[in-house]
């Protein structure tokens, strides 16, 4: 049995994201040839005036959006994990939108067909153009490793505060 390479997806660092929405504009320009964030496959979510996070498809294993589609309009690529949408079958019912834990699948404002990130054929423009380098194109393992490093640094900083100086 062949081992499938780890799937990469776009991940955002909330400590770096300033909510500028460049990622949304670049995505809409790349995919729709317009500067319109409602047509972007990535969304900036403002959790607090100072906390922003860009959200896009995480390429879930056994993607719930695919499983929830009553018309079999969604399929997940075996190779990349990207969600493929058959626009002829999609009637915009929104079941896949409800099923997505990340809010990463949206209804196109004009076509009324769902759409989501396709990773720009492995070279996401949002990552390339993010002025704060808040976006990364990573695997789950790399993301977990970065999280562990961040936690260890914070623990070290806290420990150093308690050491008599």
> Could you give all domains of the chain from N- to C-terminal order, each with its CATH number?
1-56+117-165 (3.30.70.20), 59-100 (3.30.70.20)
Lowest mean pLDDT among 7-11, 25-29, 69-73, 139-143: 139-143
> In angstroms, rounded to a whole number, what is the distance separating the alpha carbons of residues 89 and 151?
45
Rg over alpha carbons for the chain, rounded to the nearest Å, is 18
Q: Kindly report the three-state secondary structure assignment for every residue of 109-158.
A: CCCCCEECCCHHHHCCHHHHHCCCCCEEEEEHHHHHHHHHHHHHHHHHHH
Residue 160's pLDDT is what? 84
Token pair of 51, please? 């906390």
Between the CA atoms of 85, 90, 95 and 98, what dihedral angle is there, to the nearest 10 degrees?
50
Residue 25 has pLDDT above 60, yes or no: yes
Q: Which helix (H) or strand (E) holds 52?
A: strand 51-55
Residue 41 has pLDDT above 80, yes or no: yes
Residue 58 has pLDDT above 80, yes or no: yes
> What pLDDT, in 10s, does the model give residues 4-16?
668 899 999 988 9
> How many C-beta neighbours within 10 Å does residue 36 have?
15
The model's pTM is 0.83
> What pLDDT, in 10s, does the model give residues 87-139?
999 999 999 999 999 999 999 999 999 999 999 999 999 999 999 999 999 98
Give the chain's length. 165
Residue 1 has pLDDT above 60, yes or no: no
Residue 3 has pLDDT above 80, yes or no: no
Token pair of 102, please? 């990340």
């Amino acid at each position: 049995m062949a081992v499938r390479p780890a799937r990469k997806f776009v991940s955002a660092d909330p400590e770096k994201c300033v909510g500028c929405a460049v990622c949304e504009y670049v995505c809409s320009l790349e995919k729709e040839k317009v500067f319109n964030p409602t047509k972007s496959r990535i969304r900036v979510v403002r959790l607090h005036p100072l906390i922003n996070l860009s959200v896009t498809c995480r390429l879930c294993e056994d993607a719930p959006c695919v499983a929830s589609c009553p018309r079999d309009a969604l399929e997940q690529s075996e190779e990349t994990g990207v969600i493929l949408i058959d626009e002829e079958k999609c009637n915009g019912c929104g079941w896949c939108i409800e099923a997505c834990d990340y809010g990463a699948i949206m209804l196109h404002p004009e076509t009324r067909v769902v759409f989501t990130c396709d990773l720009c054929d492995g070279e996401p423009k949002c990552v390339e153009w993010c002025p704060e380098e808040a976006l990364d194109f990573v695997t789950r393992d790399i993301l977990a490793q970065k999280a562990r490093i961040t936690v260890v640094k914070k623990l070290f900083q806290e420990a150093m505060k308690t050491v008599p100086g």
